[in-house]
Structure 1
Amino acid sequence: MKSILAAIDIETGAETVLFETDLHLEAPNWTRDGAALIVNGGGRLYRVPIDEPRLHVIDTGFANDLNNDHGLSPDGTQLAISDSTEQDASCIYVLESAGGVPRQVTAEIPSYWHGWSPDGKELAYVGKRPETGGTFQVFTIDVDGGAERQLTCGFDHCDGPDYTPDGGWIWFNGERAGSVQLWRMRTDGSVLEQMTDETSVNWFPHPSPDGHHVAYLAYEPGTTGHPPNRNVELRLMPAGGGPSRGLRAVFGGQGTLNVPSWAPDSRRFAYMRYEP
């Protein structure tokens, strides 16, 4: 299976292929200077410069069992990662973006990172705890650690929490009664609002840096979870709510758009697609 790292222009829908490899790569993040992307594969993280695309390993110290939930701090100096090397399940750590020794943030597992608050002080993630009844819900925690805060309840499953650039909202996908739609809430969990009502199975909403759009991944109706190797669609909707529009159909799913991947100028975002 070939992995294709690409970017899409949100106005024209035109795709630019940035890098191709026979290795399985997932979940691109765009660096704050727009010069490179960060991807994961085989439990490691890689930097891919746009002007000379190839895989540069990022030193993550002891952490060599990373999943695809990773991302840069607002100032680009730190990386949040989700890793299982020293735990029985995914745990969130933070390290310098150039590489280094990870510092543990979450005491509870499993925890999967998805968003960094615009002021750099808080992380949003999903976790499954005994008190959540075996379901994944949205949590936040100070980047320095401490007590986590559960924001959602009553969902069968939640994933993909990501902050708006003004810090006012957290978007996420939530499942109720078999329907997976996009939701947003205030950062304290209040003012919960359903933002889509579509037949598709909607995952991983990502607000654009300019605050105008939300990109997300849509599976075909009836899809369970967020599996790989499916026909999916990259979609875009207004950040304030309203009708969405399709940008491009791709072969992918898991690994395609799991984490924030907008370019700094908000004119395009990166994703992974795959070719058998």
Structure 2
Amino acid sequence: MPTTPETTFMPRALMPGQRCEVWIASVTGESTLVYATDDILLEAPNWTLYGGSLVLNGDGKLWTLSIAGKELAQVPLTGVPDLNNDHVLAPDGSDIYLSANDGHIYRAALSGGQAVRITKDDGCFHFLHGVSPDGGELAYVGIGAGDFTQPGKLMRIPADGGATTELNVDGHCDGPEYSPDGDWLYFNTEAFTGQPGHAQLARLHTSNSGSAEQLLQSETVDWFPHLSPDGALASYIRFPAGTMGHPADLAVDVVLVSTSDWAAPLHVWPLFGGQGTLNVNSWAPDSTGFAYVAYPFRVSETTKD
């Protein structure tokens, strides 16, 4: 979810000397650069159902990236404004749900064509993050009246539209995503602290009963927990202590953990990035790895040894 009105309404772009790198991390600790460009700032990879391509947004549009061929192709969508980095594939793999810069959620075929708006004009900005495993429900973050000084609320809506439900979590929340069995929503929240911006990882039962359960207590600012399809592992992005929101262009870590022990990282990938790096679930269908995006700057010739 964008953190300011400016990033909401303006597609991000690379700065001079910066490039976009799409990586695939293996659960064994390796990482492979699969695509790099100086022309477009790509964000938030999803993995297609059969594992051959990634889906990313960039310049307000939707793109597919063939992993083997390293070919980037625009998805020809109509009827939808510029997109942001909150998009998730439907469980059948043929459709995709999209958050757009008008504050609404849309559904479209991954092959392209006319997009259909799902959310109503209810005075709220809607930032999609999760689709239930049965495809019947969406989880999103609601920001009332687009006032980004107010906390984001965890919300649910039928996948075809309709009445919304607010979940019982205090404090700013983001990134709600269903567990593979559909029993839990995983997200980050400031509910466990009085320190502004100190997001921590949590989960809440989809019955909306009980309280949010803190998964990890840390000094860092932790965002966007993403479970692997088999439920055994999770990735998330770790910002430095004191970070407000999930900004772009700073040193962060992408972290891999076992869902049986969130406090013990299995592997850590330091990189320059943040916003756009890991906003949505980017796991491969076979749970052997996940994708992320880095935004490094070229090293000046004068700084080399």
TM range (shorter): over 0.9
Displacement after TM superposition at 1:128 (Å):
1.5
The one-letter amino acid paired with 1:259 is V
**Match runs of 1:156-171 below 5 Å:** 157-171=172-186
Distance (whole Å) between structure 1 residues aligned to residue 219 and residue 98 of structure 2:
32
- Residue 25 of structure 1 pairs with residue 42 of structure 2: yes
Name the counterpart of 1:102: 115
Helix, strand or coil at the partner of 1:68 = strand
The one-letter amino acid paired with 1:56 is A
Cα pair 2:89 2:95 within 8 Å, conserved: yes
The one-letter amino acid paired with 1:225 is G
Name the counterpart of 1:196: 216
Distance (whole Å) between structure 2 residues aligned to residue 65 and residue 244 of structure 1:
39
Cα pair 1:5 1:272 within 8 Å, conserved: yes
- Residue 34 of structure 1 pairs with residue 54 of structure 2: no
The one-letter amino acid paired with 1:169 is W
- Residue 273 of structure 1 pairs with residue 294 of structure 2: yes
Structure with max Cα Rg: 2
Distance (whole Å) between structure 1 residues aligned to residue 95 and residue 208 of structure 2:
26
The one-letter amino acid paired with 2:271 is V
Name the counterpart of 2:141: 126
Helix, strand or coil at the partner of 1:81 = strand
Cα pair 2:188 2:223 within 8 Å, conserved: yes
Distance (whole Å) between structure 1 residues aligned to residue 269 and residue 199 of structure 2:
20
The one-letter amino acid paired with 1:185 is L
Name the counterpart of 2:205: 186
Name the counterpart of 2:301: none
Q: Deviations over 1:27-47 (max 9, x none)?
A: 000101000001111100000
**Which blocks of at least 5 consecutive residues in structure 2 are unaligned?**
1-17, 298-305
Structure 1 moving runs of 4+ over 4 Å: none
- More strand per residue: 1 or 2? 1
- Residue 251 of structure 1 pairs with residue 272 of structure 2: yes
Q: Tell me the TM-score normalised to structure 1 length.
A: 0.94
Aligned pairs, how many?
A: 269
The one-letter amino acid paired with 1:158 is C
**Which blocks of at least 5 consecutive residues in structure 1 are unaligned?**
none
Displacement after TM superposition at 1:241 (Å):
4.3
**Match runs of 1:183-262 below 5 Å:** 183-191=202-210, 192-245=212-265, 246-262=267-283
Identity score, percent: 41
Distance (whole Å) between structure 2 residues aligned to residue 72 and residue 28 of structure 1:
11
Cα pair 1:233 1:247 within 8 Å, conserved: yes
